[in-house]
């Protein structure tokens, strides 16, 4: 009978707290960073329970900071995307104006010698704006949209 009593005490002192700690760790593994283990119910393993609670609190704090930073980066990326769209629209408008200027027939007058030079400059500016517009459309927008999607996905995963 004393052996059974010893085994029962050992169960209460070590095995039961270990199963509570295992359940706690399973909850953490499932992403529940708000759970804490009752250190008093861990018996002889109270110091381990305390250390695990401290670890979970630290992880929760880090994840909260990551989610906050992720939200900020997402906002900045959206602002950059908006700025790139506005720049793209402005570039398109300037290109249209330059195209209209290039299509105006040459006027013969005493300033006619200056018209071809200004038309040449307008054409070069128009080509440069077209290159800028293409770069904005092809690289920036795709890259920013991908970053926004990646950050939103990361944010959703971190929130779980």
Q: Give me the DSSP letters along the chain.
A: -HHHHHHHHHIIIIIHHHHHHHHHHHHHHTT--S----GGGGGGGHHHHHHHHHHHHHHHHHHHHHHHHHHHHHHHHHHHHHHHHHHHHHHHHHHHHHHHHHHSPPP-STTTTTHHHHHHHHHHHHHHHHHHHHHIIIIIHHHHHHHHHHHHHHHHHHH-
pLDDT tens digits, one per residue of 26-81: 999 998 989 999 988 887 788 999 999 999 999 999 888 888 888 888 888 888 77
Residue ranges making up the domain that contains 74: 2-159
Mean pLDDT score of the chain: 76
- What confidence tens digit (pLDDT) does each residue in 91-107 have? 777 777 766 666 655 54
Please count the structural domains in the chain: 1
Which position has the higher pLDDT, 52 or 1?
52
pLDDT score, position 20? 87
Mean pLDDT of 14-28: 87
* Tens-place pLDDT, residues 124-144: 666 777 777 676 666 666 666
């Amino acid at each position: 009978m004393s052996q059974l009593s010893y085994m029962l005490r050992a169960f209460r002192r070590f095995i039961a707290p270990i199963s509570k700690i295992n359940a706690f760790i399973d909850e953490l593994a499932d992403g529940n960073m708000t759970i804490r283990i009752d250190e008093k119910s861990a018996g002889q393993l109270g110091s381990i329970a305390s250390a695990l609670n401290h670890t979970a609190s630290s992880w929760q704090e880090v994840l909260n900071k990551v989610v906050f930073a992720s939200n900020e980066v997402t906002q900045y990326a959206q602002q950059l995307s908006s700025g790139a769209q506005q720049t793209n629209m402005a570039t398109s408008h300037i290109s249209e104006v330059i195209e209209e200027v290039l299509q105006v027939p040459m006027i013969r007058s005493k300033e006619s010698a200056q018209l071809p030079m200004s038309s040449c400059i307008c054409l070069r500016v128009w080509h440069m704006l077209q290159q800028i517009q293409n770069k904005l459309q092809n690289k920036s927008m795709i890259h920013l949209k991908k970053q926004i999607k990646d950050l939103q996905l990361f944010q959703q995963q971190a929130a779980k």
